[in-house]
Structure 1
């Protein structure tokens, strides 16, 4: 007998890790155009990716700060977490805007690691953020 899991609505948060949160904040606001929504110096900085159809946020943490368990009685007892080494995130971009993104990234001296079409015809552009995370901008048809 198979039990079905209840449905999920989608991805609400995506987390990456960086040592220098000031540099990360500058990149994600100045280069990527995201709006910073909250920051705790030395711990994290959060960005709004979109509000439609549901809110989506990008969380950038310092692993060293989030690997520690919450203090006893903490009002937000988030369990410890953290990752070492480069992570990956893919942001959906309208296919007719990918060339604009490529030019925009070049104007900010962001090197393109790969720009190709998948077997289904969808296109992806890969580059790195200042923390070394692999960032992908892709046509949403990639997973259609």
Structure 2
């Protein structure tokens, strides 16, 4: 007999890839307001999205630096990973803040690629980070 699949708690971390980590830091910290809490120059910068109800983080890596296997004696033997080309990351935002977000993004020089309502009435705003990743701010109701 098969055991039931254990439950998950949610998404803990999401990774995007960027060649220019300084530009990524300026964007995610200066425009989006996330706080960087760990940086290894030339390899990665990690941002705290929220701590409540559980920690959620955005990891921004240089794919070239993470594509190599860890050294045999590495303290943290994280397997190699990486991606090429633009990824996608969606942040949940309260629907009543989306107009303010749009104004803030435009004032920050960010080009809005799309701003629309889904068939259920929930709204999404799409734009790009400096690495070309597709970033979305959305009313969480897009999935209800």
Counterpart of 2:74? 74
Counterpart of 2:17? 17
Name structure 1 gaps, 5 residues minimum: none
State how far apart, in whole Å, the 2-side matches of 1:50 and 1:63 are. 25
Counterpart of 1:134? 134
State how far apart, in whole Å, the 2-side matches of 1:7 and 1:133 are. 30
Counterpart of 1:108? 108
State how far apart, in whole Å, the 1-side matches of 2:80 and 2:92 are. 29
TM-score of the aligned structures, taking structure 1 as reference length: 0.98
Counterpart of 2:124? 124
State how far apart, in whole Å, the 2-side matches of 1:92 and 1:123 are. 11
RMSD in angstroms over aligned alpha carbons? Answer: 1.0
1:93 aligns with 2:93: yes
Which deviations, in whole Å up to 9, do the C-alpha atoms of 1:89-138 show, x marking residues without a partner? 00000000000000000011100000000001110000000000000000
Q: Which consecutive aligned stretches of 4+ in structure 1 deviate over 6 angstroms post-superposition?
A: none
1:73: how far off? 1.2
State how far apart, in whole Å, the 2-side matches of 1:53 and 1:87 are. 26
TM-score of the aligned structures, taking structure 2 as reference length: 0.98
Q: Secondary structure at the match of 2:83?
A: coil
Q: Secondary structure at the match of 1:141?
A: helix
Counterpart of 1:54? 54
1:4: how far off? 3.0
State how far apart, in whole Å, the 1-side matches of 2:80 and 2:4 are. 29
